[in-house]
Amino acid sequence: MRTVLIADDLTGALDAGVCLLPADVTVAVSPTAAGRLLSTSTTILSINAGTRHLRPEDAASRVHELVTSVRRAGVSVVVKKTDSALRGNVGAELAAAWRASGVARLHFLPALPSMGRTTSQGVQLVDGVPVDESAFGRDPFEPVTCSRIDELITSQALVPVRMVAEGEPVPTAFEGIVVYDATTCEEMLRRVQEIVSMGESGMMAGCAGLATALAEVLGLRDLPVRAPEGRSNLLVVCGSVNPVSAAQCAYAAEKGAPVMRIGAAEKCDSTWMASHDGEAFVADVVESWRDNPLTVVDGSALENLAGVVAPGLDVRQVVADNIGSMVASFCKRDVCGRLLVMGGDILSSFLGQVGADTVRPLGEVAPGIVGFGLEVGGRPLVAAAKSGGFGNRELFVKMAGPHEVKEKIQ
pLDDT attached to residue 64: 97
pLDDT attached to residue 405: 36
Q: Residue 391 — very low, low, confident or very high, per pLDDT cuts 50/70/90?
A: confident
Euclidean distance between the first and the last CA atom of the chain, given in angstroms as a whole number: 49
Of residues 188 and 269, more confidence is placed in 188
Distance CA 64, CA 96 (A): 5
Of residues 404 and 216, more confidence is placed in 216
Same structural domain for residues 27 and 176? Answer: yes
Q: Please report whether residue 252 resides in a domain.
A: yes
Of 67-71, 219-223, 380-384, the range with the lowest mean pLDDT is 219-223
Per-residue pLDDT, averaged over 22-45, amounts to: 82
pLDDT attached to residue 310: 62
Domain ranges, residue 38 = 3-217
Same structural domain for residues 138 and 257? Answer: no
Q: Residue 22 — very low, low, confident or very high, per pLDDT cuts 50/70/90?
A: confident
Mean pLDDT of the chain: 88
Residue 106, domain CATH = 3.40.50.10840
pLDDT attached to residue 225: 52
Same structural domain for residues 238 and 124? Answer: no
Same structural domain for residues 195 and 307? Answer: no
Same structural domain for residues 113 and 187? Answer: yes
Q: Tell me the pLDDT tens digit for each residue of 83-127.
A: 999 999 999 999 999 999 999 999 999 999 998 999 999 999 999
Three-state DSSP class for residue 316: helix
Q: Please report whether residue 394 resides in a domain.
A: yes
Of 48-52, 301-305, 361-365, the range with the lowest mean pLDDT is 301-305
Q: Residue 409 — very low, low, confident or very high, per pLDDT cuts 50/70/90?
A: very low
Per-residue pLDDT, averaged over 140-164, amounts to: 93
Q: Please report whether residue 19 resides in a domain.
A: yes
Same structural domain for residues 205 and 294? Answer: no
Same structural domain for residues 184 and 88? Answer: yes
Q: Residue 7 — very low, low, confident or very high, per pLDDT cuts 50/70/90?
A: very high
Distance CA 243, CA 350 (A): 23
Q: Please report whether residue 223 resides in a domain.
A: no
pTM flag (> 0.85): no
Residues 6+ apart with CB under 8 A from 55: none
Same structural domain for residues 8 and 41? Answer: yes
Per-residue pLDDT, averaged over 28-37, amounts to: 83
Same structural domain for residues 213 and 238? Answer: no
Q: Tell me the pLDDT tens digit for each residue of 277-332.
A: 999 999 999 999 999 999 999 988 776 666 665 666 677 788 888 999 999 999 99
Same structural domain for residues 321 and 241? Answer: yes
Instruction: From 192, 217, 242, give the residue that closes a domain.
Output: 217
Q: Please report whether residue 286 resides in a domain.
A: yes
3-state helix, strand, coil in the chain (%, to 5): 40, 20, 40
Same structural domain for residues 209 and 253? Answer: no
Q: Please report whether residue 373 resides in a domain.
A: yes
**Total structural domains in the chain?**
2
Instruction: From 169, 187, 217, give the residue that closes a domain.
Output: 217
pLDDT attached to residue 407: 34
Q: Are 305 and 266 in contact (CB under 8 A)?
A: no
Which DSSP symbol is given to 237?
E
Residue 258, domain CATH = 3.40.980.20
Q: Are 237 and 323 in contact (CB under 8 A)?
A: yes
Same structural domain for residues 300 and 351? Answer: yes
For the chain, percent of residues with pLDDT exceeding 90: 57
Instruction: From 163, 186, 217, give the residue that closes a domain.
Output: 217
Output the 3-class SS for 12-69: HHHHHHHCCCCCCEEEECCHHHHHHHCCCCCCEEEEECCCCCCCHHHHHHHHHHHHHH
Q: Tell me the pLDDT tens digit for each residue of 237-272.
A: 998 878 888 999 999 999 999 999 988 888 878 888
Q: Please report whether residue 225 resides in a domain.
A: no
Q: Please report whether residue 227 resides in a domain.
A: no
